[in-house]
């Protein structure tokens, strides 16, 4: 097994493990929390004073609802249901909504016209956006970010993520920092490229270009 095959196998295994954990949280923890909330709400409604009459129960319900929201947040980060059920754009929209909690303005411009891409293309693009937004929130101090996703003239896919943050010198990033290198590797496994342009004080642009995605069932390119 060569280096590319090894990397692909590791990423596939990592993706399957994340998906399994997401299912475990959804089918286990989240269900127990929902059941506890329903039982407490029923009990609270039957109290002489009705809903809100016992501050202790109200406090417990608040904590349970916050725990449920956190469980959903974890599921979305591990493997958002929208990626499998609805597609790439909806899954990225969930990342954008989450990023807006820390970055005042995040815009998504998607031009995939509702087309589904092969699963590995969707997963790769989703993870690149996720990693980029995570880096942005941790390091950039950005107030504005834009994500553009669309077709290229040759039928390939282009993803561009830009921000107005503090920027950095790409040459100064140590090789053990897997974030940016992971983006390049993911794009490379699909035959594409990922370039990072940044200067201190001038923000960052990540430009990903992938070849036309192939339908594994037919071997043909996915049409626009």
144-151 sheet: strands from edge to edge:
105-111, 144-151, 157-163, 204-210, 193-198
| Better pLDDT: 15 or 129 | 129
Q: How many CB atoms lie within 10 A of CB 192?
A: 20
What is the model's pLDDT at position 67? 85
**Which residue ranges make up each domain of the chain?**
3-78, 88-210
Q: pLDDT by residue (tens digit) across 99-115?
A: 898 898 999 999 876 67
| CATH match for 88-210 among 3.30.365.10, 2.40.110.10, 3.30.565.10, 3.40.50.170 | 3.30.565.10
DSSP string, 57-78: HHHHHHHHHHHHHHHHHHHHHH
Q: Which residues contact 72 (CB under 8 A, 6 or more apart)?
A: 30
Q: Which residues contact 69 (CB under 8 A, 6 or more apart)?
A: none
What is the model's pLDDT at position 160? 97
Average pLDDT, the chain: 82
What is the model's pLDDT at position 77? 66
% pLDDT > 90, the chain: 22
H/E element, 208: strand 204-210
Q: pLDDT by residue (tens digit) across 169-204?
A: 877 776 555 577 888 888 988 899 999 998 888 899
Helix (H, G, I), strand (E, B) or coil at 136: helix
What is the model's pLDDT at position 34? 86
How far apart, in Å, are the Cα atoms of 154 and each of 143, 211, 217, 224? 34, 8, 21, 10
| Better pLDDT: 137 or 109 | 109
Q: How confident is the model at residue 217 (pLDDT cuts 50, 70, 90)?
A: very low
Query: H helices of the chain, where?
Result: 3-24, 30-45, 55-78, 81-85, 88-99, 119-135, 178-189
What is the model's pLDDT at position 127? 87
Q: pLDDT by residue (tens digit) across 42-95?
A: 888 888 887 777 888 888 888 888 888 778 767 766 667 778 777 899 889 988
Lowest pLDDT segment from 20-29, 84-93, 129-138, 185-194 = 20-29
């Amino acid at each position: 097994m060569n280096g590319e095959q090894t990397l692909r196998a590791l990423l596939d295994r990592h993706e399957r493990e994340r998906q399994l954990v997401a299912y475990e949280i959804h089918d286990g923890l989240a269900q127990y929390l929902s059941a506890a909330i329903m039982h407490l709400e029923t009990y609270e409604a039957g109290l002489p004073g009705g809903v809100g009459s016992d501050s202790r129960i109200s406090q417990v319900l608040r904590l349970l609802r916050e725990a449920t929201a956190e469980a959903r947040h974890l599921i979305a980060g591990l493997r958002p249901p929208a990626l499998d059920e609805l597609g790439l754009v909806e899954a990225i929209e969930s990342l954008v909504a989450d990023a807006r909690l820390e970055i005042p303005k995040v815009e998504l411009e998607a031009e995939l016209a509702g087309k589904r891409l092969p699963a590995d293309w969707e997963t790769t693009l989703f993870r690149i956006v996720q990693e980029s937004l995570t880096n942005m929130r941790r390091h950039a101090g950005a107030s504005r970010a834009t994500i553009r996703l669309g077709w290229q003239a040759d039928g390939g896919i282009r993803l561009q993520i830009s921000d107005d943050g503090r920027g950095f010198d790409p040459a100064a990033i140590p090789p053990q920092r897997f974030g940016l290198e992971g983006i390049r590797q993911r794009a490379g496994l699909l035959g594409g490229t990922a370039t990072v342009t940044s200067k201190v004080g001038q923000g960052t642009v990540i430009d990903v270009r992938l070849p036309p995605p192939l339908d594994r069932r037919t071997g043909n390119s996915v049409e626009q």
